[in-house]
Amino acid sequence: MICDIKSLSADALQYQFRDWNQPAYRAAQVLEWLYVHRVSSWDAMTNLPKAVRELLRANYSLQTLELVRKQGARDTTQKFLWRLSDHALIESVLIPANPALYGEASDRHTLCVSTQVGCAYGCKFCASGLEGWKRNLRADEIVEQVLAVERWHAAEEAKVSKAQPAPSNKLPESSNRLVNNIVIMGMGEPLANYDNLMQALRILNAPWGGGIGARKITISTSGLVPQIRKLADDPLQFRLAISLHGATDETRNKIMPVNRKYPLAELTAACEYYQKRKERMITLEYILIAGVNDAIEETKPLAKLAQLLHAKVNLIPYNRVEDLDWERPTEAVQEAFLEALEKQNVTATLRREKGHDIDAACGQLRLKTERELAAK
């Protein structure tokens, strides 16, 4: 199978042009077409000689994501369902800036990115795992989610500015990024697709690629211990979020099968190692599910763990998934849980979900669409 051009590092591309006896600046030209202008065809790379375009076409693919469905209005959380070249479906979610969430304040957007088609980890509450794991995404398919959303946005902006001419001093859209925060919290377990994920993140982080700061990229994992340790040893300073959802083995075992493989003691040790190596604050994600993990006594082990890891806790009210019986607790219960944590000197936030009404939790739009397609 030929490799996609957006899986390549700048070094690899430079090496390729050298090998073809082409001048070194060709690599820079291609990178600019891909990551600044976000073109989706070789023929759009108009400053490359035709022969070079043919060489590229013969040796690399240049795949883009096909938009199947989009939910959500402008300036709110918007969800994109994409079709891959093998017709598999994945999701990305665009969330308007919310400074209280992951990391620094932002005046732009966060994109929630998928890393696999489906998920093998089968957490009991999650739509992504319901129909199992199909395959890993390639690095270019991860990178392309950012580019495809920005391409879509630029086209929307162009429609608006056609109606009302833009002021003449406005920079061209291609020179600035719509997405300046990335959370790897879409479909799939990112650390189970470690190499492709890291290649994609290096491309999205590189100045010649996405130019998105490593500190603006958060990787969320259900708790794959060996990969957390490996990530701790990687020189790039990505942020880490742990999908904890229970602070005892008893609670975690009930909802997350991964905890049987990597119980809390091992996960905690890996997080301590990460924290020491990186000197970065870890986020503990905690979905509040009615009657499962929302009792006030659950805040005690949670607070202890957060203190040990110098971590902050992000409480997320559960989003209903069709076919599953789980429910989110009442707002009063959510607030009481938050207050109990704060009383124990834990830094915690309660997410007032922006995308609740559009099935914002990962995997839900895909599941719905696949079922509708199957029923046809």
What single DSSP character describes residue 305? H
Which is catalytic among the residues 3, 32, 91, 157?
91
Q: What is the CA radius of gyration of the chain?
A: 22
Query: Looking at 65, 321, 338, 346, which residue binds ligand SAH (CB under 6 A)?
Result: 321
Which residue's CB is nearer to ligand SAH, number 125 or number 262? 125
194 binds ligand SF4 (CB under 6 A): no
- 135, β-bridge pairs: 117
- 183, β-bridge pairs: 112, 218
321 is in the binding site of which of ligand SAH, ligand SF4, none (Cβ under 5 to 8 A by kind)? ligand SAH
Min dist CB 225 to ligand SF4, Å, is: 14
Query: Chain centroid to CA 198: how far?
Result: 12
The answer to whether residues 81 and 89 touch, using CB atoms and an 8 Å cutoff, is yes
Query: Looking at 3, 67, 68, 122, which residue binds ligand SF4 (CB under 6 A)?
Result: 122
CB-based contacts of 260, cutoff 8 Å, min separation 6 = 253
Among the listed residues 271, 279, 284, 290, the one whose alpha carbon sits nearest the alpha carbon of residue 331:
290
Which residue's CB is nearer to ligand SF4, number 120 or number 154? 120
Q: Give the chain's end-to-end CA distance (angstroms, integer).
A: 32
Alpha-carbon distances, residue 186 vs 74, 209, 285 (angstroms): 20, 21, 14
Min dist CB 190 to ligand SF4, Å, is: 9
Query: Looking at 14, 136, 222, 275, which residue binds ligand SF4 (CB under 6 A)?
Result: 222
H helices within 216-326, ranges in order?
225-233, 249-255, 258-261, 264-278, 299-309
The answer to whether residues 285 and 218 touch, using CB atoms and an 8 Å cutoff, is no
| Tokens 């701790």 belong to residue | 232
If residue 350 lies in a helix (H) or strand (E), which one and from where to where? strand 348-350
129 is in the binding site of which of ligand SAH, ligand SF4, none (Cβ under 5 to 8 A by kind)? ligand SF4
Query: Looking at 316, 348, 365, 367, which residue binds ligand SAH (CB under 6 A)?
Result: 316
| Tokens 């998105």 belong to residue | 212
Q: Is 131 a catalytic residue?
A: no
Query: Looking at 126, 198, 200, 282, which residue binds ligand SAH (CB under 6 A)?
Result: 126
Burial class (CB in 10 A: 0-12, 13-18, 19+), 256: buried
318 is in the binding site of which of ligand SF4, ligand SAH, none (Cβ under 5 to 8 A by kind)? ligand SAH
Q: Is 144 a catalytic residue?
A: no
Min dist CB 80 to ligand SAH, Å, is: 16
The answer to whether residues 211 and 177 touch, using CB atoms and an 8 Å cutoff, is yes
Compose the 349-368 pattern: x for residues touching ligand SAH by CB under 6 A, - for all others.
------------xx------
Min dist CB 228 to ligand SAH, Å, is: 12
The answer to whether residues 309 and 301 touch, using CB atoms and an 8 Å cutoff, is no
Which is catalytic among the residues 189, 362, 370, 372?
362
Which residue's CB is nearer to ligand SF4, number 299 or number 364? 364
Which residue's CB is nearer to ligand SAH, number 189 or number 294? 189
Query: Looking at 17, 35, 42, 121, which residue binds ligand SF4 (CB under 6 A)?
Result: 121
Which residue's CB is nearer to ligand SAH, number 126 or number 365? 126
189 binds ligand SAH (CB under 6 A): yes
The answer to whether residues 242 and 191 touch, using CB atoms and an 8 Å cutoff, is no
Near ligand SAH by CB under 6 A, which window of 6-14, 31-39, 218-226, 264-272?
218-226
Structure tokens at 234: 């990687």
Q: Give the Cα separation of 296 and 339 in Å (integer).
A: 10
Catalytic positions? 91, 362
Q: Which residues bind ligand SF4 (CB under 6 A)?
A: 119, 121-123, 126, 128-129, 188-189, 222, 243, 362
The residues binding ligand SAH (CB under 6 A) are 125-126, 185, 189-190, 220-222, 243, 285, 287, 316, 318-319, 321, 361-362
